[in-house]
Amino acid sequence: MQENSAQTTATTHQTHALPSLSKRARESNPFRAMAIGEEADRMIAQGVDVVKLSLGEPDFGAPQAVRDAMREQCDGRPLPYTAALGIPGLREAIARFYEQRHHVQLDPKRVVITEGGSAALLLALALTVNEGDDVICADPSYPCNRELVRTFGGNIIDVPTSASTRFHLNADLLNAHWTPRTRAVMVTSPSNPAGTSIAFDALKGVCDTARAHNAWRIVDETYLDLADAEPDGSDVRSVLSADPDAIVVSSFSKYWGMTGWRLGWAVLPEAILHEADNLATNYFLCAHTPTQHAALACFMPQTLEECERRRQELLVRRGLALDGLASIGLPVEVEPNGAFYAYFNVSSTGLDAWTFCERALREAHVALTPGADFGPATAHTHVRLSYAASRQAIGEGIARVGQFLTTL
């Protein structure tokens, strides 16, 4: 009798349609880099030798001192909620890091700890974007920016950029695309997908222009500490050097290799901290307690030395990627100087970017990311390669792509 009742309930669930999804869910775009990565993993599970050059995920993992600190946290001690804005020690450590590395004086209370850089972006946009607001960003740029803006009812204004502007905005482009409803400007530097840094004067010009219109400046500096030094050899500068009231978002994922640890931060103007506390409490209560405590080890001298050695290794890998792409007839149009990406044009192959990536995975067993992830301007023409993989993987992957090109 109970079995028949369970069968009836199951049948009822199968025959009745679910309520309709929200508009934002129905209109959300796939994150193709993740989808390609999942397909590559399925192929690997089936015994296929796939070279993954699609995800921006350093193969180093977290620094040793951070791993040791996490093990200490998992010794049976209570791990209660923290304050919504993060533990004081970590906020203070990040503020000291800005002073030592980027020569910016920063009040620790302006640092808000979040569950990854994505949560920092979510919080920044929740604080600044209303229904019907326009938000300007470079095209191509990080895809989650667009989805998060739309989540809060905003409209993305994609500004087409090119190699001539290093795939970044400048004041002229900003003025040409400004609307009466523009509420915020988003910049990611170094860029994802191009791996290029915005020139500091250009960044200052963008911020000055937006501030003159009383619009927010939201700058994603997740890859900042993987950027090359300034042309004069000095440390790379944060936007806070030019615009102290800019909203900065960042993450432990890239420089410290802690992608799966899901820890990031935002630097906010002091005037909006109360509202940020309210939203952070309601959205995610607090970041992961043991990860916050373990991340204190990120700022130990030996950890920073390890991260610098890794950055130097990425420079070697960059050279391998750029030389390899050039050797198979797919040179990049503008060389990256940060992050770990090379963005190359595949128009000469006769394939659009999605077909190129699809066939490269299926036929050459190399995972790459199509430009469609990053906006319409380069959706059909460009492909992103991540050189966060090992030297061997980069060499093998490019060799396979080169062989694939001979079959076209």
Kindly give the pairing relationship between strand 216-220 and strand 182-188. parallel
Nearest to 347 by CA among 367, 336, 333: 333
Rounded to a whole number of angstroms, the distance between the first and last alpha carbons of the chain is 63
Distances (CA, A) of 101 to 21, 88, 94, 97, 122: 46, 20, 10, 6, 26
- The pTM score is 0.93
pLDDT tens digit at each of 408 positions of the chain: 444 554 545 444 555 789 999 988 898 888 888 888 899 999 999 999 999 999 888 999 999 999 999 999 999 999 999 999 999 999 999 999 999 999 999 999 999 999 999 999 999 999 999 999 999 999 999 999 999 999 999 999 999 999 999 999 999 999 999 999 999 999 999 999 999 999 999 999 999 999 999 999 999 999 999 999 877 888 889 999 999 999 999 999 999 999 999 999 999 999 999 999 999 999 999 999 999 999 999 999 999 999 999 999 999 999 999 999 999 999 999 999 999 999 999 999 999 999 999 999 999 999 999 999 999 999 999 999 999 999 999 999 999 999 999 999
How many other β-carbons are positioned within 10 Å of the β-carbon of residue 292?
20
Q: In the Cβ-directed half-sphere of 281, how many Cα atoms lie within 13 Å?
A: 7
d(CA 220, CA 123): 13
The CA radius of gyration of the chain, in Å to the nearest whole number, is 22
CATH of domain 21-61+303-405: 3.90.1150.10
Return the residue matching tokens 């899901």.
262
96, two tokens? 């000291």
Asked if 311 and 385 touch (Cβ cutoff 8 Å), the reply is: no
Asked if 276 and 247 touch (Cβ cutoff 8 Å), the reply is: no
- The set of residues, in sequence order, having a beta carbon less than 8 Å from that of 232 and lying 6+ positions away, is none
Topology annotation, domain 66-299? Aspartate Aminotransferase; domain 2 (3.40.640)
Domain pair 21-61+303-405 / 66-299, same fold: no
- For the chain, the domains span 21-61+303-405, 66-299
Nearest to 221 by CA among 245, 195, 187, 194: 187
Nearest to 267 by CA among 124, 164, 170, 367: 124
Asked if 168 and 187 touch (Cβ cutoff 8 Å), the reply is: yes
Helices 116-128 and 143-151 pack at an angle, to 10 degrees, of 40
Strands ordered across the beta sheet of 369-370 = 341-345, 382-386, 369-370
Q: Report residue 329 CA to chain centroid gap.
A: 28
